[in-house]
Amino acid sequence: QNPKTSAIVKQLVAEGNAGELQKYFGSRMEFGTAGLRAAMGAGISHMNDLTIIQTTQGFCRYLEKNFSDLKKRGVVIGFDARAHLPSGGSSKRFARLAANTFISQGVPVYLFSDITPTPFVPYTVTHLKLCAGIMVTASHNPKQDNGYKVYWENGAQIISPHDKGISQAIEENQEPWPQAWDDKLIDSSLLLHDPYATVNKEYFKDIQKQCFHRNINKETNLKFVHTSVHGVGHKFVQLAFKAFDLSPPFAVPEQRDPDPEFPTVKYPNPEEGKGVLTLSFALAEKDGAKIILANDPDADRLAVAEKQESGEWKVFSGNELGALLGWWIFTCWKNHNRDTCAIKDVYMLSSTVSSKILRAIALKEGFHFEETLTGFKWMGNRAKQLMDQGKAVLFAFEEAIGYMCCPAVLDKDGVSAAVITAEMASFLATRNLSLSQQLKAVYDEYGFHITKASYFICHDPKVIQQLFDNLRNFDGKNTYPKSCGRFKVSGIRDLTTGYDSSQPDHKAILPTSKSSQMITFTFANGGVATMRTSGTEPKIKYYSELCAPPGNSDVEQLKKELDELVNALEKHFFQPEKNNL
């Protein structure tokens, strides 16, 4: 019933454009553990009014099956500022249609009345003890995309088998229920609640538990620039600074207000580094700010840059910021917990493709470190399990600039990470140390961890499959490579097939998934490299790291060795010319 998507389809039919119609209606968007993510537009392969109604109907039925008290507890729905004029789709419209679906079945809905950061949804699930949460966002994807991200009652993103259960329920509930399109009905419903004011107050109260140096924050002369990259982050980072008694950061004016066109950047992804930060650098130079904090458009990630003494800007990698925040959060914990026995219940987590720096810190300091599969769904769920056993999970991170610094949110949170980074920088400034100098001190103490990650773009699933099959049958059937160029392979873990050469029974400990490709190679020189496919983009990614024991301080030599390893990996394992990558 959406006039715009309806007109698009009628036009294609009139033109007899079978190719385009096949693209729109050939296959339904797949609902996975990350929910949905696709371009906005007509047809069942895109995000639009109809596919949102169908998805929510399936999700609603699945929740009814799992929670006898769904009609008492309800769900929360949040949205970002994305909109797509040609198809009339927007995050707010999709959120309202989803709310309408639940309310039509007598389920209370806590629908935010305005845009919020993604972490507010998992926070609300936990805080109000709801059954589930939905966030309508495509995070840092290109402007035409949108997404539908789902949280379970434990406040973490869903993991299997929920994705399969929801997917099946969507298949069984495709015909829109009566009044499914009429989202105006919710405005007069007693089942509609707005959590905006409460959550804004409670969230900022909760993150203050991570504020340890209020006096330094009040006095600091350090200046910060913040950019929300045309997304939702501006207001919330300003409030977080206020909660920590820090002077507000300078906001990049051209990127401060939400704009679904993302006019000043090629990709609205701070992971892309300097290109996204051009305007931030200019403002920092003008206002004399030393540190830049950049959120992605839904404010669940954070990139940080610092001006060096040379006048150059250093953009920290996700692993470097993970090392700094891990060191900082543990140091703050240690200073506030004099009971040395308590450390046996302290945990930190990171994903298997992230730097092992937390493992090195944990070994030396005596707390626990665990690694999980890639993605915060795994870290959030594991953190909740540990917390339920009375453990303290201080910190979790992944190299894709995602940080969980505060146990009130069991997902990555760029708002709390931004303000905690600002407090850390302010504290270090009182010791005349920069973030870069402190990072070197962390590596000096716990051993250098040098990382390098990148990706190849590949739109052909057959080529991807062939590339990984080739690695599994390298020198004849069922044999993995014994070397990569001059580098000898000492271990292999394949989380697609469940093989792990380091285990006595050759079975991997971490969960395996046949639907995604992921192989980790360990090398005799102490290097580790993982190759994996992306769940949300047409990319084959690689992550590499060289870990040196404390005391090996020849960083340039380590970097050179890692560069050579990566070049060999690209040449022999990816074979970009042969595979047209």
- Secondary structure class of 319 (helix, strand, coil): helix
**Tokens at residue 234, please?**
């501006």
Hey, which residues does 250 pair with through a beta bridge? 225
Nearest Cα residue to 530 out of 362, 319, 383, 321: 319
**Tokens at residue 113, please?**
């009345």
Residues 6+ apart with CB under 8 A from 255: 227, 228, 229, 230, 264, 265, 279
Q: How far is CA 544 from CA 131, 449, 503, in A?
A: 39, 10, 22
Q: Tell me which amino acid residue 460 is.
A: D
Distance of CA 509 to the CA centre of its chain: 24
| 75 Ramachandran zone, left/alpha/beta (phi>0; psi -120 to 50) | beta
Q: Given the DSSP bridges, would you call strands 527-533 and 539-547 parallel, antiparallel or unpaired?
A: antiparallel
C-alpha dihedral, 551 to 553 to 555 to 556, nearest 10°? -140
Nearest Cα residue to 409 out of 452, 370, 379, 432: 379
Residues 6+ apart with CB under 8 A from 103: 109, 185, 186, 189, 191, 192
Q: Strand order of the sheet with strand 224-227?
A: 250-251, 224-227, 291-295, 302-307, 313-315
Residue of 90, 91, 104, 139 with catalytic role: 139
Is 515 marked active-site? Answer: no
Q: How far is CA 341 from CA 224, 367, 553, in A?
A: 38, 10, 33
The answer to whether residues 438 and 428 touch, using CB atoms and an 8 Å cutoff, is yes
What whole-number distance in Å separates Cα of residue 494 and Cα of residue 518? 6
What whole-number distance in Å separates Cα of residue 380 and Cα of residue 153? 12
Q: Other CB atoms closer than 10 Å to residue 321's CB: what's the count?
A: 22
Strands (E) across 464-569 are located at: 483-484, 487-494, 499-500, 518-523, 527-533, 539-547
The answer to whether residues 573 and 481 touch, using CB atoms and an 8 Å cutoff, is yes
- The catalytic site residues sit at 139
